[in-house]
Amino acid sequence: MDSIPVGGRTATADQPLRCAVFLSGSGSGMEALVQAQRTRTLPHQTVVVVANKSDIKGLERAQRLGVPTLVVEQRHEGLTLSREEHEAEILRKMADYDVELVVLSGYMRLLSPLFLSDWANRVVNIHPSFLPHFPGAHAHRDVLASQTTITGCTVHLVDEGMDTGAILAQRPVPVFTDDNEATLSARVKVEEHRLYPQVLTWIAEGRVHLIDGRVSVVDVEGQQVG
């Protein structure tokens, strides 16, 4: 069987896995991740925040936290970049930070096959539903419209599809009859902010592998738990 480690290397708190957080919006997930990394001495570190928009709150949050930021908009120097050109510019600027893992947190662009080929098994995302149910940009709206009683959040590897990559971990969240998108989003975010640092820790500790295309997670004693 072929066993491929997710993340590339085993890290420690002294030599943490170097992460770039990609975002397009408020950055609340990024802020929660950075705070967890700093207060709990985790084996991963956010070394740069990458945004595809210049007028977003996520950049303000990163700057308050003292995390370096890169802004690469699709409209660049009077030209509209193709997806591949846009990503090439991101990677060119990101090279200065020795990034090892790309962490998507509300990044509202699909990555190209070329990007994902170069960063195979080193791009993760968190999605605000219990995948494979309710993928896409309007998960909370779709959950409420379905009248389901359970949703959740999912951390997954990123592939070429829309929220279709291999699932690494999930947490369920109840849906209440009086919920709206704001209340549901707030409750899901609580679990997102707990789950993402945990999964990144598993990755940094070398405990997440792809075995014949399926995810395997082992505990600290080397026993398979997922």
Per-residue pLDDT 10s for the chain (226 aa) are: 577 889 888 999 999 999 999 999 999 999 999 999 999 989 999 999 999 999 999 999 999 999 999 999 988 778 898 999 999 999 999 999 999 999 999 999 999 999 999 999 999 999 999 999 999 999 999 999 999 999 999 999 999 999 999 999 999 999 999 999 999 999 999 999 999 999 999 999 999 998 877 888 875 544 454 4
Determine contact, residues 58/49, Cβ cutoff 8 Å.
Answer: yes
Catalytic residue among 44, 86, 127, 193: 127
Determine contact, residues 209/5, Cβ cutoff 8 Å.
Answer: yes
140 is catalytic: no
Q: Please give the Cα distance from 65 to 38 (Å, whole number).
A: 10
Q: Please give the Cα distance from 158 to 152 (Å, whole number).
A: 18
